[in-house]
């Protein structure tokens, strides 16, 4: 299989980066994401994992991928896939306004070092590393810091085939 890439963008800020899908390490996750593209949703900045932005989506795979290529210490440029039940995100502490009613898929970008996927409510939260930014991480990281400092309101995180 030849390499597959996607474009990840913060639409309002006009910033994007190129992501290499890690088909050799997370083939089922990559296939699920690839078939679901394009995807776009409200962006959030992490509270617990530090240097992470993400969007939440309804499940899109025929069956959720297994925990392939897992990590609890993502590095800059890693894209991770998480699945959460509505109950896991139901507390107001997460800041979504209303509790999630069903299972959600969290597609996340880690843009800087020193991330630890440890949540005070549930403990370790391993993610599936399914992509790696190969171009444009510096500009995206700067935009992510701007999002952290100025807010995410009205901003979307989009995933498109490149």
Domain positions in the chain are: 5-161
Is pLDDT above 80 for 162? yes
Whether the pTM exceeds 0.85: the reply is yes
Q: What is the pLDDT of residue 93?
A: 66
The class (CATH top level) of 5-161 is mainly beta
User: 49: pLDDT confidence band, cut at 50, 70 and 90?
Assistant: confident
Is pLDDT above 80 for 1? no
* Per-residue pLDDT tens over the stretch 86-107: 777 766 666 665 555 678 899 9
Strand spans (E) along the chain:
5-10, 15-21, 39-45, 52-57, 70-71, 78-84, 104-110, 118-119, 123-124, 127-135, 156-161
> Which of 97-106, 114-123, 150-159 is predicted least confidently?
97-106
Is pLDDT above 70 for 10? yes
H helices of the chain, in order, are 27-36, 137-150
Residue 105 to residue 57: CA distance in whole angstroms? 5
Is pLDDT above 80 for 121? no
Position of tokens 């990559």? 30
Q: What is the mean pLDDT of the chain?
A: 92
């Amino acid at each position: 299989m030849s390499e597959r890439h996607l474009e990840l963008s913060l639409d309002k800020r006009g910033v994007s980066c190129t992501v290499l899908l890690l088909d050799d390490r997370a083939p089922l996750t990559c296939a699920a994401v690839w078939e679901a593209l394009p995807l776009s949703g409200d962006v959030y900045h992490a509270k617990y994992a530090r240097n992470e932005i993400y969007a939440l989506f309804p499940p899109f795979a025929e069956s959720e991928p297994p925990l392939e290529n897992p990590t609890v210490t993502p590095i800059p440029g890693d894209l991770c896939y998480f699945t959460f039940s509505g109950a896991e995100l139901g507390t107001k502490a997460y800041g979504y306004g209303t509790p999630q009613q069903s299972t959600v898929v969290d597609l996340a970008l880690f843009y800087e070092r020193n991330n630890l996927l440890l949540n005070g409510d549930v403990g370790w939260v391993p993610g599936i590393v399914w992509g790696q930014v190969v171009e444009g991480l510096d500009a995206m990281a700067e935009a992510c810091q701007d999002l952290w400092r100025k807010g995410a309101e009205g901003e979307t995180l989009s995933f498109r085939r490149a």
